[in-house]
Structures are given as C-alpha cells and as structure tokens.
Amino acid sequence: MLVEARDLTFEVRTGGPTDGVPVLLLHGFPQHGGEFDEVVPALHAAGLRTYAPDQRGYSPQARPTEVADYRIGECVADAVALLDALDAPTAHVVGHDWGALVAWRLAAGHADRVRTLTAVSVPHPTAMAYAMRADPEQKDRSAYIGLFRQTGTAEDVLLADDATALRSLLSGVGDADRVARYLEPMRRPGALTAALNWYRAMSPADLAEVGPSRVPTTYVWSDEDPAVGRTAAEACAGQVTGEYRFVELPGVSHWIPDERPGALAEAILHRIGA
C-alpha cells in the first residue's frame, strides 16, 4: 500500500489481522521492507498486524535529493508520521541495520509511541562509539563507512562490473534470486545515491543525541557479522533503562532477517510476549 506522510509517499508492506496490535518493521541498507517477508508469517499467526515501509530514499516517491534530508532525525520523524498515518498510536518496533538505528532513537525519544523494541544487528550508537574507542578491531570493521560517504566514488565502486561489489556485499542474504531482489532496485536511477545518503548525512552530534532506550528492549546480534563485533554488541546493555534481553545467534552473518527469519521471529515474539 502507499502511505502519505510528511509530503512524501511511502511504499508499505502490510499483513496480519486488521485489528492486530501494530508492529513497525524498519529495514536497513541496501534492502527494503521485503527483508522481513519470511519473518512476518509467525507474527501474523500470533495475531499481530505488521507494517514494513520502504524508508526514505528507498520508496521512489520519498526520495529527496539533498544529503541533509537523510539525517537520522528526519528518518525518525518519518517513522512517527507513518504511525500517525496508519492510525497507530503505539507499536512494537523492529529495526535491522539502519532501521535499528532509527528504532533506537524512537525508543529513546518517543517512548510513548514504542511498546517494545527489537533491534537487530546494529547496536545503540553510544555502544558503537564506545567500541570504536576501546576496540581497534571495531575500527577496522567500520572502515567501509568511509567509502560509503564518498559521493560518486561509492556508487562507482559498488556498481562497477555489473555491480560486482554490491553483489558481494549482499551475498550473505542467500541465493542469486534473493540477492537480485535487493540489488535490482539499487540499480535504478538515484536509488543507490539516496540509500548512501543515510551514511553521508550521519554526524557524531546526531548520534550522540540518542539517549538510552526507555522501553523493554531486545538486541539481536550474530557472531559472524563483519560490521559489528562483540565489544559493541555487549555494550548495548548499558544503553537500556527498560527490561533488556541480549540474543546471540552463532554462525550467522549480518543478514539476520534473511538467514534466520525463524529465530528472529522467535526473538520478536518473546519480546512482545505474544
């Protein structure tokens, strides 16, 4: 379905009973709301109503051109506006990768709208900042961000030779068809630049403003995630003032919703109490 919010039009995947408690599912880079397709059947079976938007830059009609339009505060405001447009005063919130960062800030700054938080892969930004200072290995893991922030260069590198680098990045999601479902939208004019603008708009000041999560929170991390090491993952506990649970998935890479949708659904349902 198409949802109007903040003078933008978002593509939103919906499912489950129309009277079910809402669950807002926020995707990451370089994917879209479809990354939760294999997670949501278990949520629907539990009586929950799911909404998985293609976020700012990923929905073709929600693709502003300025880098500043992709600051994290704008992306969080989109999520709040989508809840308003969906007539959902509150929702359980699930976020993966960049969607997790949006979700962390929602839980910190809009706790009245968030019933529970399940953050996947990406830890609270304060936990990540701590790991960058305390763990040299985390600095190495995060080095790719420097490339992604280079306008034009990143697009050239990722799309060169039939998008070899982007295909390699996505290889953990599964077979060639699964890679293609995320890669092909990124090859459309303006799409990859918009997605990379999330990185280019990122600032230490914005991330420092994200306070602790004030709602019941689960953080799901996989021990073969090349981008996030154990130091950052384990530091998340100190950034939650509500009830907290840490779920570690062994032998899984960054792409948890694709690789282990059943385990993620179980973690979400455990957090929700459904």
254 is catalytic: yes
Spatial CA neighbour of 100 closest among 192, 252, 184, 222: 222
Task: State how far the Cα of 120 lies from the Cα of 190, in Å rounded to an integer.
Answer: 27
3 state SS of 62: coil
Q: Could you tell me if 159 and 192 are in contact, meaning their C-beta atoms sit under 8 angstroms apart?
A: yes
Q: Which residues of the chain have pLDDT under 70?
A: 274
For the full predicted model, state whether its pTM sits above 0.85: yes
**Is 58 an annotated catalytic residue?**
no
Contact 207/125 with Cβ under 8 angstroms? Answer: yes
CB 30 within 8 A of CB 169: yes
Annotation says 144 is catalytic: no
Looking at 54, 70, 92, 97, which residue is catalytic?
A: 97
Q: What is the pLDDT of residues 259-270, one digit of tens each?
A: 999 999 999 999
List, for residues 201-212, the tens digit of each pLDDT value.
999 888 888 999
CATH number, domain containing residue 127: 3.40.50.1820
pLDDT of 261 reads: 98
- Where b means 16+ CB within 10 Å and e means fewer, 19-36 reads ebbbbbbbbbbbbbbbbb
Q: Which residue type is seen at 249? A: L
Q: Say which of 199, 219, 225, 258 is annotated catalytic.
A: 199
pLDDT for res 215: 97
Give the total number of structural domains in the chain: 1
* Segment 20-70, tens digit of pLDDT: 999 999 999 999 999 999 999 999 999 999 999 999 999 999 999 999 999
Give the domain extent around 120.
Answer: 2-272
Annotated catalytic residue, options 78, 96, 254, 258: 254
